[in-house]
Amino acid sequence: MVRSKNLKVRNIRAAVLRKKGGPLKIETLSMEGPQDTEVLIRTVASGVCHTDISMVHHWEKADGPQVLGHEGAGIVELIGKKVKAVRPGDHVVLSYQSCGTCRPCKSGRPTRCRRFYELNFGFHRLDGSNALEPSGVHGHFFGQSSFSSHILATERNIVKVSKKLPLSILAPLGCGIQTGAGTVMNTLHVQRGASIAIFGTGAVGLAAVMAARIVHAYPIIGVDITPSRLKLALELGATHIINSRINDVASGINKIIAGGVDYVLEITGNHRMLQLAIEVIKKRGTAAFFTGDGVPDFVPKGKKAVAVIEGDSVPQLFIPKLIKLYLSGKFPFDRLLKLYNFKDINRAMKDSRNGKTIKPVLCIGNEKGQSGYGH
């Protein structure tokens, strides 16, 4: 691991993963930074995403201790010499990291960054160093590690937002919500009157349902096994719902729209649903799959399967757009959220895993004033 020189070290409080399956424990750590291109943010809130939970359950000893969290929001405390986009006191929402110099980044497609995997799952900075090295803990998850009192980010993965909106509401926009809405609006460009089925009505799926309503898709079919989520899908824009535990999905969709749907979003990761997604799209239809879940081995000629990353969203463009839609009442994503105290992080993860909570948000610091953690 590369060690940065001559950087200030401060104490932070962060939830550390040291054991497969958790629990995460809140510890005091030493953090070095910010570097010239970095922004030090005092965390106010962080969403909990399924990727965080999956990391906890796939952790191995060789991974070493980690700080997870990648839907942070907070207040800028310090900026490096080369930072221009924000100033201390600005409110920011954090998103995924990208390098900014590869061809996809240069052409405005940061989700296709050649270093995407490394920068979001590699637990280090662009230069290979790690700000939590003095404590022997790995940080920089998605260029943030937001389960922490402080975050080090760069201009590339922060979005300046209005101070009028609570950061605890805005936090989850940076991953799950932008992924669901972005898949409908940026990846698939779903048009008015196009038919769409959404397999899995968790946070990503419900964001997709709301986006499908905004673009006037029809029908919008929500598929899930949890009645409470299906009910919410109906309230947020689904025109039809199918409980896949009770009903056959393929015949259910065929009854609603003969010949299949134009689009399917497969968010469950369930093997049977993966194949079904391809089956229920009509000829020339597209099925969208999400990173980690893979794409089915066999896709018949004429049908299309796409692997989606973060809904092909450019955070600095798409997050302000989602906030605007939220303020106009068309995108009430706040209905998916439940707030938890930071110390209850393990309960928040459990509630998300068993479907009790759609999108947990951890309240980590105060919206105003100091965090109270030492520097």
Q: In the complex, which residues of this chain contact Zn ion (CB under 5 A)? A: 49, 51, 98-99, 102, 105, 113, 175
CB 178 within 8 A of CB 318: yes
Q: Report the nearest approach of Zn ion to the CB of residue 154 (Å).
A: 12
- CB of residue 68 vs Zn ion: minimum separation in angstroms? 10
- In angstroms, give the least distance from the CB of 256 to Zn ion: 30
Q: Which is nearer to Zn ion, 135 or 168 (CB)?
A: 168
Backbone angles phi, psi at 317, to 5 degrees: -100, -45
Nearer to Zn ion, 53 or 274 (CB): 53
- Name which of 118 and 367 has its Cβ closer to Zn ion: 118
Q: How far is the CB of 266 from Zn ion (least distance, A)?
A: 16
Nearer to Zn ion, 153 or 175 (CB): 175
Kindly state the tokens that stand for 147. 């389960």
Least Å from the CB of residue 247 to Zn ion:
30
In the complex with Zn ion, which residue's Cβ is closer, 185 or 217?
185
Q: For Zn ion, which is the closer residue by CB, 119 or 233?
A: 119
**Would you tell me how many other CB atoms lie within 10 Å of the CB of residue 155?**
18
In 96-193, the DSSP E strands lie at 150-154, 158-161
**150 vs 372: CA distance, rounded Å:** 11
Tell the smallest beta-carbon distance from residue 338 to Zn ion (Å): 17
Place of tokens 């689009």: 263
Q: In this complex, which beta carbon is closest to Zn ion, that of residue 49 or of residue 364?
A: 49
What are the residues whose beta carbons fall under 8 Å from the beta carbon of 271, sequence distance 6 or more?
A: none
CA 115, distance to chain mean position in Å, is: 18
Q: State yes or no: cis peptide before 34, omega within 30 of 0.
A: yes
Q: What share of the chain is helix, strand, coil (3-state, %, to 5)?
A: 35, 25, 40
Task: Give the span between the Cα atoms of 100 and 116, in whole angstroms.
Answer: 10
As a whole number of angstroms, the distance between CA 100 and CA 353 comes to: 34
- Looking at the Cβ atoms of 176 and 237, the one nearer to Zn ion is 176
What is the nearest approach in angstroms of Zn ion to the Cβ of residue 100? 6
How far is 212 from 237, CA to CA, in rounded Å?
8
For residue 3, give both structure tokens: 């060690």
Q: What is the smallest separation between the CB atom of 178 and Zn ion, expressed in angstroms?
A: 9
DSSP-based three-state secondary structure for 240:
strand
Strand 261-266 vs strand 196-199: parallel, antiparallel, or unpaired?
parallel
Min separation Cβ 91 and Zn ion, Å: 21
Q: What CA–CA distance (Å, rounded) separates 34 from 151?
A: 10
Contact 77, 33 (CB under 8 A): no
The span from the CA of 331 to the CA of 335, in Å, is 10
Toward Zn ion, which CB reaches closer, 59 or 285?
Answer: 59
Angle in degrees, CA 159, 167, 216, rounded to 5: 70
